[in-house]
């Protein structure tokens, strides 16, 4: 079997259950001999080094997440994820840094299996805006830096309800509808997050999802928690395709932005195309190009990325990448980046 498919299939088979326990409907739970048998504890960590052209080289513990989940019966299937992030460890010219740690509850919900094909989720969860947001754990994605298209323009979290209906479990064909009627629970600060949302409603149709290809479309309406009475209506389509010797991944996004604040344009829009190619045993070549236009920035951003990923075992990855950015900069400065990510 070609190396890329072999590596990714094994990575998904072995790692995905630990990382995205909350993204697939829970099975009808058997009666465990002890309640501890129904509880699973896992997590992941990501150590990141950044060397942007216009800032000092720095090392930080970018993510440290712990998952605790339980599958007790059709009514009680709780999931909680606590995340410590953006913890500086060392910076050129300043030496060792242990002066800041931020912790949030990233997910906290319960799944109720209404019927065999319908699941209701209540609590705080990741919104199904795209595949990247769902499978976002660092060991399972190809690059240290996330595309702007995949995160900037929409709410990545919701505190409320999510209803999922599976049309066909074998093909992955499913529809999800979600609603956040109140402010997000325990949000990240605005220094780490683009904006806070006071109300969100959206949906996602997963047209197909298996180890060979994925295709989905999403819509979201969000009211931003600011003084400008801003609303954002987004539509996107994303997918990936694994061939014998390469993998293609892409997303296209358009967001209509209505606000009393003066903007350069009344929308965000953009997209990226990413290619992964196997080299020699356990090494992969990664290339990505992204174009994105911001409503509140005059110049668009164009980012080219090239890198190497070494994955000796499915749960461990080493990444080294160079990112070149022109135009507006949003967390995508030109420079050299690397990371080590592990599932446990």
Over the stretch 24-81, which tens digit does the pLDDT of each residue have?
444 444 455 677 888 999 999 999 999 999 889 999 999 999 999 999 999 999 999 9
Q: For the domain made up of 3-343, give the CATH fold.
A: Porin (2.40.160)
User: Between residues 36 and 96, which one has the greater pLDDT?
Assistant: 96
Q: What percent of the chain has pLDDT over 70?
A: 90
Strand partners, 321: 307, 337
- Per-residue confidence band for 286, with pLDDT thresholds at 50, 70 and 90: very high
Cβ contact 309:283 at 8 Å: yes
Higher per-residue pLDDT: 11 or 342: 342
Give the pLDDT score at 33. 63
Task: Assess contact for 337 and 144: CB atoms under 8 A.
Answer: yes
Task: Determine which of 22-36, 83-97, 134-148, 247-261 has the lowest per-residue pLDDT on average.
Answer: 22-36
- H or E segment at 134? helix 131-134
Q: Which residue has the tokens 């298996």?
A: 210
The pLDDT of residue 207 is above 80: yes
Mean pLDDT score across all residues of the chain: 89
Q: Is 27 exposed, middle or buried (0-12, 13-18, 19+ CB in 10 A)?
A: exposed
pLDDT digits (tens, 9 = 90+) for 218-254: 999 999 999 899 999 999 999 999 988 999 999 999 9
Spell out the domain ranges in the chain: 3-343
Distance between CA atoms of residues 140 and 238, nearest Å: 17
Neighbours of 84 (CB within 10 A): 16
Q: Is the pLDDT of residue 173 over 70?
A: yes
- Output the pLDDT for position 157: 96
69 within 8 A of 104, measured Cβ to Cβ: no
Report, as an integer, the average pLDDT of 99-110: 91
């Amino acid at each position: 079997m070609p190396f890329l498919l072999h590596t990714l299939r094994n990575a998904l088979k072995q790692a995905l259950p630990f990382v995205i326990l909350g993204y697939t409907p829970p099975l009808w739970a058997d009666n465990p001999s002890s309640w501890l048998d129904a509880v699973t504890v896992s997590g992941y960590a990501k150590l990141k080094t950044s060397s942007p052209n216009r800032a000092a080289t720095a090392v930080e513990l970018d993510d440290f997440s712990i998952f605790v989940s339980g599958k007790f019966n059709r009514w009680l299937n709780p999931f909680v994820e606590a995340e410590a992030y953006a913890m500086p460890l060392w910076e050129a010219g300043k030496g060792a840094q242990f002066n800041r740690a931020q912790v949030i509850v990233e997910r906290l919900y319960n799944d109720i299996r209404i019927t065999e094909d319908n699941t209701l989720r209540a609590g705080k969860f990741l919104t199904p805006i795209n595949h990247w947001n769902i499978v976002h754990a660092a060991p399972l994605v190809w690059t240290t830096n996330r595309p702007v298209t995949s995160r900037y323009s929409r709410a990545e979290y919701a505190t409320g309800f999510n209803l999922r209906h599976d049309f066909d479990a074998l093909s992955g064909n499913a529809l999800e509808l979600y609603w956040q009627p109140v402010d997000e629970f325990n949000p990240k600060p605005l220094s780490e997050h683009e904006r806070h949302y006071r109300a969100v409603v959206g949906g996602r149709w997963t047209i197909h999802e298996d180890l060979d290809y994925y295709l989905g479309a999403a819509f979201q309406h969000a009211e931003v928690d600011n003084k400008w009475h801003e609303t954002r209506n987004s539509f996107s389509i994303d997918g990936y395709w694994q061939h014998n010797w390469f993998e293609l991944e892409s997303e296209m996004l358009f967001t209509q932005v209505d606000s009393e604040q003066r903007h350069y344009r009344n929308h965000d829009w953009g997209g990226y195309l990413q290619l992964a190619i196997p080299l020699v045993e356990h090494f992969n070549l990664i290339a990505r190009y992204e174009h994105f236009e911001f409503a509140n920035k005059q110049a668009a951003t164009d980012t080219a990325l090239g890198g190497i990923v070494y994955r000796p075992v499915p749960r461990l990855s080493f990444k080294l990448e160079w990112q070149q950015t022109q135009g507006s900069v949003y967390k995508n400065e030109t420079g050299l980046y690397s990371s080590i990510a592990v599932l446990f």
